[in-house]
Amino acid sequence: MKYTDRAWAEINLSALRSNLRTLRQLGHHEVMGVVKANAYGHGLAEIAMALQKEKVCWFGIARVSEGISLRLAGITSNILMLCPATPSEYKDLIEYKITPILGDSTAIDLFVSHKPDTQYPVHLDIETGMGRSGILPEEAVLQWKRATSLGLFVNGICSHYHSADCDNIEDTLAQKEIFEKVYRELKCAGAQLKYIHLENSPSLLGKVSSSITNMVRPGLLLYGISPPNSSGPIMEPVFSLKARVGSVRRLPKGHTISYGATHILSRDSTVATVMIGYGDGYPRRLSNSGSVLLHDHKVSILGRVCMDQCVVDVTDICSSDSDNPVQVGDIATLIGKDRRAQISVEEIATLIDTTEHEITTGISPLLPRVYLD
């Protein structure tokens, strides 16, 4: 396949399927495909369709518009709204058969005021320490009874770990114990809970797991990205980022590079301009610190990353005796592999002190995605 774009992301669907198989082999009953934020930057509808073909029965989203897009794309699996819905979203939520998570009495009242006459399935969000939303543990049975009396079908409960990617597991253990206690209390009160979900990517590979959960919500792991401080099966990266070389030039020692002249060449150099920048979602924080791959070599970014370009030092691979110099039109790899060399999402996140999620979700949805099977 010939790529004509100046920059694009490559999405390896074979790797996605392999990661799903690995997660299922860990023994979990149900794997929810978390596809919020444009499927972590991989492409919402395309990823969901690939997973539905693999019999994934649940998808997790963050806004109703994502659920509408999935339904219009042909997704018939269950869709769970992982964030609280706003009142303006309830009508579409019901119309497109999206399951809400309800985390307090106000959310229950608002949803009941919009729901159809028939029982509508909902999940209750239990507050275990995240602090964003959720029913306080001591109120869980009361709110379940209230939701049921108002005509809602509570067929699931959930919560979310806040520190499962940390070495200290005490907080995670505490959250697990709170959640399991609430589950037992609800069961004793008569709740028929089909879906119990708490585990995320870090907890799946960590030292804490709950024996009562029957559905897991992997995000990073599904896309082949390892959470911090994790150990376990090796997953295959699904996401690669590529861009073409737009120019190759020889510049003298002392010449300045990019906005603010934050880099001054310390030698006569050959520099290449790569046609991608922060307007495409490539982090500006990689200015003067990041690298890209060209011709199986890792080369340094010089100066500031621009909106749609960045400059790299190719002096050492364009020496006079080189039989394969960098040329206009060559493909640079910003995330992924180039033969023996590799730049991972995890490496970039560590370099600029951020979460791996920010790297892939930050890549502009306008940048073309090329799906490889």
Q: Which residues contact 53 (CB under 8 A, 6 or more apart)?
A: none
pTM: 0.93
Cα separation values, 183 from 144, 145, 354, Å: 11, 14, 34
d(CA 58, CA 102): 17
Q: What is the pLDDT of residue 201?
A: 86
SS3 35: coil
Ordered structural domains, the chain, with CATH: 12-223 (3.20.20.10), 239-343 (2.40.37.10)
**Burial state string for 244-277 with b = 16 or more CB within 10 A and e = fewer than 16:** bbbebeebeeeeebbeeeebebeeebbbbbbbbb
259 classed as catalytic: yes
Per-residue pLDDT, 101: 96
Under a CB-based contact definition with an 8 Å cutoff, are residues 230 and 189 in contact?
A: no
- So what's the pLDDT on residue 230? 67
pLDDT tens for each residue of the chain, 373 residues long: 456 689 999 999 999 999 999 999 886 679 999 999 999 999 999 999 999 999 999 999 999 999 999 999 999 999 999 999 998 999 999 999 999 999 999 999 999 988 777 789 999 999 999 999 999 999 999 999 999 999 999 999 999 999 888 878 898 899 999 999 999 999 999 999 999 999 888 888 776 777 888 999 999 999 999 877 666 678 999 999 999 999 999 999 999 999 999 999 999 999 999 999 999 999 999 999 999 999 999 999 999 999 999 999 999 998 755 677 899 999 999 999 998 899 999 999 999 999 999 999 999 999 999 999 9
Give the other-Cβ count within 10 Å of 105's Cβ.
14
Structure token digits, residue 332: 């640079």
As given in the structure block, the two tokens for residue 316 are 């050492």
Q: Looking at residue 203, what is its pLDDT?
A: 84
User: Is-catalytic flag, 2?
Assistant: no
Residue from 158, 145, 218, 160 nearest 194 by CA: 158
For residue 278, which of 357, 364, 347, 351 has the smallest C-alpha distance? Answer: 364
Backbone angles phi, psi at 239, to 5 degrees: -105, 130
DSSP state of 222: G
Per 3-state DSSP, the chain is made up of helix, strand and coil in percentages (nearest 5) of 35, 25, 40
Write down the pLDDT at residue 234. Answer: 81
Write the CB contacts of 199 (distance below 8 Å, at least 6 apart in sequence).
28, 161, 209, 210, 213, 216, 217
Q: Which pair of tokens denotes residue 345?
A: 């999402």
What is the model's pLDDT at position 1?
43
Secondary structure (DSSP) of 254-311: T-EESGGG-EE-SSSEEEEEES--GGGT--GGGTTT-EEEETTEEEEEES---SS-EE
Catalytic residue, candidates 183, 259, 337, 371: 259
Query: Which residue from 52, 46, 50, 54 is spatially nearest to 79, judged by alpha carbons?
Result: 52
How do 239-251 and 195-197 pair as beta strands? unpaired
Active site residue: 2, 36, 120, 337, which one? 36
